[in-house]
Structure 1
């Protein structure tokens, strides 16, 4: 049965039994610290075990849970799971094999991503890659929920939305898949009503368990991702997006995508107020690619689009994407794709 928006909001704001348990535990520790240990000893251990509740006071050793995809998805018909984050849950670090999209529906939350602390606010969408240690703390009536996605589904569902923008693809892939600590992406969507409504629609669809729900969820997630990029491409925070000048890497990459035909490293650096050497280093560290590699990939991506969708000659396409020498264009294209532009056009049209 599909929930109305009013029914959904009642569901998302209401405290269930487990949240009530955690809130009581939190208040007991805060208001009666001298008797808190004795209080914990009176708790129903069977309930704690069956509900998989976390009570640090009863732990005899450190607790660092790790969840595999099979643990979450083994009895689920689909690749996407939505769940509300229980308020007042004791903060604990954990990891898992799948992607987590933490959505701040209302209020604030504190999160740590491999030692990097953040305060999230209403409208913040935090994407956490697999194998990344993180924690979440909500100790008021704020509301957050998770969209949990299989790694393979995240890659195929989200990154297919970026095929027309290779520079952004490189940036997101570099941040989310690079083997360093503290990986994350945060979209600051604020009070964007469209994003808010889309999140509600996703969760309502998930709770409804209607026919073809898995297909709907996959499609809705693609649209959600596209909306974030369309409306909040320059509202992204990550371990790489900000430096002392305040310019974000997404702004730089968007600029390169608009001016790829003729822009030079010196011109782009000057536009953003960097020295050439610092700008070159920033691009490399942020995307894993050099300035010339990014420009080349954008040009070739646009050339491929023209070969598939138009009848322009190779010479016209060469000029369109900014290659001064047809020979250089032909040589670069064949080296990259293993075929000439003409062979590429024939193969894709067939």
Structure 2
């Protein structure tokens, strides 16, 4: 059985010191050393792979196996060994886990609690539900496309009494055809893009576009998780929606979600579930960076609402070429990570970028 090591200590330190969330250990996602590195390590039943996506280490293992299976196809993404865009997903899962967002929000069980089973992902967690669409479903697609071995079949485990999650490729393709089609397209593109005659920067941009298309359709479909929002404070629900909205910007810019870039953008996210009364940028037990991120997320959402959705439309329109998407990524980096960057500059720069499209 896979077991955590220093997770509880890391979580306690992050919360007690009011610092940003710890999402890496020895330069890798948390608990990475405890995950399985071979497909044959996964549990099986009657010759079918049978991972438990309601266990953090199992979900982490799905990511590790997908990264390992696809790394040889993306040499054009960069010179480091951590350039795979899938790296953003295990880091994101680690943040959700250490910040308490995968725990049972109803408090009916000890699932996900340090005093209970810290590796448990509650089926009542909105965050755990949303993440299912970017962990279990892409793994099922990868297996279908042959990345886990010839003829390998997979059926996800599901907790007793839970019926609203698909567990096989066939079931998921029937329930969420757009999601599975987009992930299929991504894994197929890995094979075809590798030998494309295009320059490396164009191949990279193209693959990232296909990757984010899969991510976004997964995000849209995860609206089925919405009833679970009732378990959270209005402040957490607002943050959750703003977090989803931020994906519109990073996806349109074809954000390269490699290990380093993803860690930089995920570290300033709040290290605990938000509660009533929390009011950024003045949440005392959150760091300055976390307060800044929450404020910027809120500003982006509010401005877009005031403009009738035109901020997102302007942004997407401006992300019309490889060159403007590169500029867009730099702009997001300034907006989200540099407290000195004026939000008014963001609007004027977007307007200027639109004129070049």
TM-score computed with the length of structure 1 as normaliser: 0.32
**Between structures 1 and 2, the one with greater helix share:** 2
Instruction: Please say which structure displays the higher CA radius of gyration.
Output: 1
Normalization by structure 2: what TM-score?
0.31
Structure of higher RCO (CA pairs closer than 8 Å, 6+ residues apart): 2
